[in-house]
A and B are shown apart, each in its own frame.
Chain A
Amino acid sequence: MSERFRLTVNGTESILEADPDTPLLYALRNDLALKGTRFGCGSGQCGACFVLVDGHAAPACDTPLWSVADKSITTVEGLGSVGALHPLQEAFLSEQAAQCGYCTSGILISAAALLARNPTPTEDEVRAALDRNLCRCGSHNRMVRAVLRVAAGVRT
């Protein structure tokens, strides 16, 4: 049965009506038109749909709406926008750290969560933090370099 939910996404409150078990992913993509969070597996195993929930990277495909009603959600669109990119996004561009770009949003989210709790990670720590995200094109090393570039405070 549908219920009314108050969601705070990228600092903006929205009200939407949906079944409480609806995965957050579909509310973001289809109700709020935030397409940057992408469907990959539906079971939290690939990271393509990661969003920040109160600062922690979580799979939106496997997060029911009822569980995030009073939490703060940040999607890739909330990290930065064109003209005002997040330093991680700038660094990903500088390193050309993508091929297809489908996994990129989720990886940016994992990296942002990492840097928030550990602003100066080692390379091994970056890799460990990104292990929940899959990349099929083989852009891993470029992405790791981009994250380290931000950690080192290198201007992009």
Chain B
Amino acid sequence: MNTLTEARLRRTGSLEKNPRLSQWLRVERDGTVSVFSGKVEIGQGILTALAQIAAGELGIALERIRMVAADTSLSPNEGVTSGSLSIQDSGAALRRACAHARALLLERAAGRLGAPIGALEVKDGTVRAGGRSTTYWECSDEGLFDRDVEEPASLSPGGHRVIGTSSPRLDLPDKIAGRPRFVQDMVLPRMLHGRVIRPLHGFAGLDSIDDAKARSIPGVVAIVRDGGFLGVLAEREDAAIAAQRALRSAASWKEPATLPRDIHAWLKENAKDHRVISEKSDAQAKSREVRTLAASYSKPYISHASIGPSCALARFEGDKLTVWSHSQGIFNLRHDLALALGMPEEAVVVRHAEGAGCYGHNGADDAALDAALLARAAGNRPVRVQWMRDDEFAWAPCGPAMALELRASLDSEGNIVAWQHDLWSNGHSSRPGRSDQPALLASWHLAKPHERPSAINMPLPAGAADRNAIPLYDFPNQRVVNHYVREMPLRTSALRSLGAYANVFAIESFMSELALAAGADPVAYRLRHLSEPRARAVIQAAARRANWGEWASREGHGHGIGFAKYKNLGAYCAAVAEVEVGREVRVSRLTLAVDVGLVINPDGVRNQIEGGAIQSTSWTLKEQVKLGERGIASVGWEDYPILKFSEVPAVEIELIDRPELPPVGAGEAAQGPAAAAIANAVENALGVRVRDLPLTPERILAAIEQQ
């Protein structure tokens, strides 16, 4: 599918699969509008942005919108809340649905008031004409929205009173007051607490278990075993945790296969599928090459490391199952739960409940199956399962390790005439709902086990491992190859921006290396190879805002730039990093410029970009999953440090608003550009290039010694 086709499909967003108007909204008698979205709040503020879109198109106050939590029995199926697509998918659909709803309501109101539509005065749902008035709430009935959404003549210009404003987040008052709001906070009557027992370093099965000690803990109700799946149910949460510990130390596990020692070398040796994803050739340009440079880059496995470990509640009522989960894809989860439990899909309802920050496919779905399996043994009592910190680090999927090799040829003036990019990686998605085998952890360990599916890559142009591997620069000769590795030493899946983080890190590091080789300024060098106006604009804006041209070099200080258009389809983002390098790298300032088209909520975009840039700083300076002989060795914060308050850079953001262009998501745009900007700034400070992430003091020292 080419970019244009995808853009056209995206234009109406999720209407393609959910065409009925009644799937999207309901006008209530009490003067509110219930809005149904299949997209879920994962800490990114999407419910607020979608509410703004609905209020804007309906022409009513934001306070009148009630965002209904996604529920497989109520909501449109919008797949997964991922890929920075909620504004495009749900937002585009809601804009059209609400504009159509408004037109229908006005038509009704005109009939009631006996006035032409053009003569109606509408304010916040009250419609006036000729001294008489009615309201949306009076004009609506059950049948009115029972039709397909039609493309409106125009999207409401009145919408811009709400759209484009920094409306405060609708969910924050609860969260800041500490009110129960998360799935972790839910309580159901007669609820039991469950924990699942898994070894911390991988396993191939459960040999034996002596559960005498766990059974003697007061309040332990049941120990549940199904093959290698071992769980405990207790009246109190602390008893469930104590029993989990007792069982873990009393269990004897079958050892798993050993892990490769050098994961990046192993990836290169084990790739079986080599796909050329972009090829351009121009023999004349190639004939001008005078020298060729090459460099290898790498990225380790990265953990999601959400502050709140995964949690779910499950309850059986007869042969019906209800699950509450912070999954990103409740319909996909329902599909896989039904597969794993051998139930018809219709007998399972999954309700979304908010969880702690979600940056991709973490343990949420797995915890849901854990809760369901324990609930099946709980005699119709509801069960709450929360993973412990080590469960999350050891068992949630990781963002995949990647190896990259780049090569470029320059002409006598330093222009890039040929470019080659090779990447080696496991797949970047093993999400539920995409195959006939459940992608849920516990299902692989049952007495009748399911087969663990391999992570896959979604097709281009969005791509997955190869996301953003095709450079946006205008190179006359170009070859990009995705070397896919099916076998997974560690379970991998989607982590914020997927392959874009490593691909952009490599491309943008290499661009600065080439600029240096060509004796050119890194900003000017990029612009010289880049014609797309919106791309040029963000690079220029970030450079200007960071006073790029007035940089005074000082020992141990450096600055660097990075850029990408996320997925080559979405938001444009450029980052300038300023660093101080002493014993370790300290990022003092990040300046970013961003273009997401029409800005729905400026503060929301800033929050996402700032959060993404800070998280990327953490990944880039500190983060790597440590591998033991047989599994993940970093199962606590002491082994997996993340950026602390005192280490967080100042962040400045310039938004380039383009109200005439469709809005795109902001959540993942900063990951790659910030990483490359930091690496380039380190090189600028020290004169040495570190190409393997993270940029730890050991790595930097090694690079200096190699020089």
Using a CB–CB cutoff of 8 Å, the interface residues on chain A facing chain B are 2, 18-19, 22-23, 26, 29-30, 33-43, 45-46, 48, 75-77, 79-82, 85, 89, 92-93, 96, 98-105, 108, 124, 126-128, 130-131, 133-144
Please, how many angstroms separate the alpha-carbon atoms of A43 and B241 in the complex? 13
Q: Are A101 and B43 in contact (CB under 8 A)?
A: yes
Q: Chain B: which residue is nearest A65 at the CB level?
A: B238
Q: What residues of B have a CB within 8 angstroms of the CB of A138 in the complex? A: 610-615, 648
- 4 additional contacts (CB under 8 A) given A36-B178, A85-B177: A22-B238, A26-B237, A99-B608, A138-B612
Q: Are A102 and B614 in contact (CB under 8 A)?
A: no
Q: Are A42 and B646 in contact (CB under 8 A)?
A: no
Residue of A43, A77, A127, A137 ringed by the most chain B CB atoms within 10 A = A137
Please, how many angstroms separate the alpha-carbon atoms of A40 and B355 in the complex? 12
The list of the 5 closest CB pairs from A to B, nearest first, reads: A36-B178, A100-B43, A101-B175, A138-B614, A138-B611
Pairs A–B under 8 Å by Cβ, sample size 13: A39-B386, A40-B308, A42-B241, A93-B172, A96-B166, A98-B175, A100-B43, A103-B356, A128-B645, A134-B307, A138-B611, A139-B610, A140-B648
Which chain B residues in 593-642 approach chain A with CB under 8 Å? 603, 607-608, 610-615, 636-638, 642
Q: Are A135 and B172 in contact (CB under 8 A)?
A: no
Min C-beta distance of B231 to chain A, whole Å? 18
Which chain B residues in 228-263 approach chain A with CB under 8 Å? 236-238, 241
Residue of A23, A104, A124 ringed by the most chain B CB atoms within 10 A = A104
Q: Are A136 and B178 in contact (CB under 8 A)?
A: no
Please, how many angstroms separate the alpha-carbon atoms of A35 and B308 in the complex? 13
Q: Are A124 and B646 in contact (CB under 8 A)?
A: yes
One of A19, A35, A102 near B356 (C-beta < 8 A): A102
Please, how many angstroms separate the alpha-carbon atoms of A41 and B390 in the complex? 8
Q: Does B19 contact A (CB under 8 A)?
A: no
Q: How large is the interface on B (under 10, 10 to 19, 20 to 34, 35 or more residues)?
A: 35 or more
Q: What residues of A have a CB within 8 angstroms of the CB of B637 in the complex? A: 41, 43, 45-46, 134
A38 and B184 contact, Cβ closer than 8 Å, known pairs A82-B173, A100-B357, A101-B175? yes
Q: Chain A: which residue is nearest B609 at the CB level?
A: A138
Q: What residues of B have a CB within 8 angstroms of the CB of A105 in the complex? A: 178
Q: Are B237 and A99 in contact (CB under 8 A)?
A: no
Q: Are B176 and A101 in contact (CB under 8 A)?
A: yes
Q: Does B179 contact A (CB under 8 A)?
A: yes
Q: What residues of B have a CB within 8 angstroms of the CB of A85 in the complex? A: 176-177
One of B171, B187, B608, B643 near A101 (C-beta < 8 A): B171
Q: Chain A: which residue is nearest B617 at the CB level?
A: A138
One of A22, A46, A142 near B307 (C-beta < 8 A): A46
Min C-beta distance of A27 to chain B, whole Å? 9
Q: Chain A: which residue is nearest B356 at the CB level?
A: A102
A81 and B177 contact, Cβ closer than 8 Å, known pairs A38-B308, A137-B43? yes
Q: Does B305 contact A (CB under 8 A)?
A: yes
Q: Does B459 contact A (CB under 8 A)?
A: no
Please, how many angstroms separate the alpha-carbon atoms of A29 and B178 in the complex? 12
Q: What residues of A have a CB within 8 angstroms of the CB of B266 in the complex? A: none
Min C-beta distance of B546 to chain A, whole Å? 17
Q: Chain B: which residue is nearest A84 at the CB level?
A: B177
Q: Does B588 contact A (CB under 8 A)?
A: no
Q: Are A36 and B238 in contact (CB under 8 A)?
A: no
Q: Chain B: which residue is nearest A33 at the CB level?
A: B187
Min C-beta distance of B381 to chain A, whole Å? 16
Q: What residues of A have a CB within 8 angstroms of the CB of B386 in the complex? A: 39
Q: Does B309 contact A (CB under 8 A)?
A: yes
Q: Are B308 and A102 in contact (CB under 8 A)?
A: yes
Please, how many angstroms separate the alpha-carbon atoms of A39 and B260 in the complex? 34
Q: Are A140 and B177 in contact (CB under 8 A)?
A: no
Q: Are B176 and A102 in contact (CB under 8 A)?
A: no
Which chain B residues in 36-56 approach chain A with CB under 8 Å? 42-45
Q: Chain B: which residue is nearest A83 at the CB level?
A: B177
One of B168, B179, B238, B389 near A40 (C-beta < 8 A): B389
Q: Chain A: which residue is nearest B608 at the CB level?
A: A99
One of B45, B177, B182, B648 near A99 (C-beta < 8 A): B45
Q: What residues of A have a CB within 8 angstroms of the CB of B358 in the complex? A: 100
Please, how many angstroms separate the alpha-carbon atoms of A81 and B194 in the complex? 31
One of A89, A101, A141 near B648 (C-beta < 8 A): A141
Q: Does B534 contact A (CB under 8 A)?
A: no
A101 and B172 contact, Cβ closer than 8 Å, known pairs A36-B178, A82-B177, A127-B645? yes
Min C-beta distance of B638 to chain A, whole Å? 7
Q: Are A100 and B42 in contact (CB under 8 A)?
A: yes
Q: Does B288 contact A (CB under 8 A)?
A: no
Q: Are A42 and B388 in contact (CB under 8 A)?
A: yes
Min C-beta distance of A68 to chain B, whole Å? 15
Please, how many angstroms separate the alpha-carbon atoms of A10 and B417 in the complex? 69
Please, how many angstroms separate the alpha-carbon atoms of A101 and B326 in the complex? 14
Q: Chain A: which residue is nearest B326 at the CB level?
A: A100
Q: What residues of B have a CB within 8 angstroms of the CB of A36 in the complex? A: 177-180
Q: Does B651 contact A (CB under 8 A)?
A: yes
Q: Chain B: which residue is nearest A61 at the CB level?
A: B389
Q: Does B169 contact A (CB under 8 A)?
A: yes
Q: What residues of B have a CB within 8 angstroms of the CB of A2 in the complex? A: 218
Q: Does B273 contact A (CB under 8 A)?
A: no
Min C-beta distance of B171 to chain A, whole Å? 7
Q: What residues of A have a CB within 8 angstroms of the CB of B175 in the complex? A: 98, 100-102, 104
Q: Does B420 contact A (CB under 8 A)?
A: no
Q: Are A30 and B182 in contact (CB under 8 A)?
A: no
Q: Does B451 contact A (CB under 8 A)?
A: no
Q: Are B185 and A35 in contact (CB under 8 A)?
A: yes
Q: Does B140 contact A (CB under 8 A)?
A: no
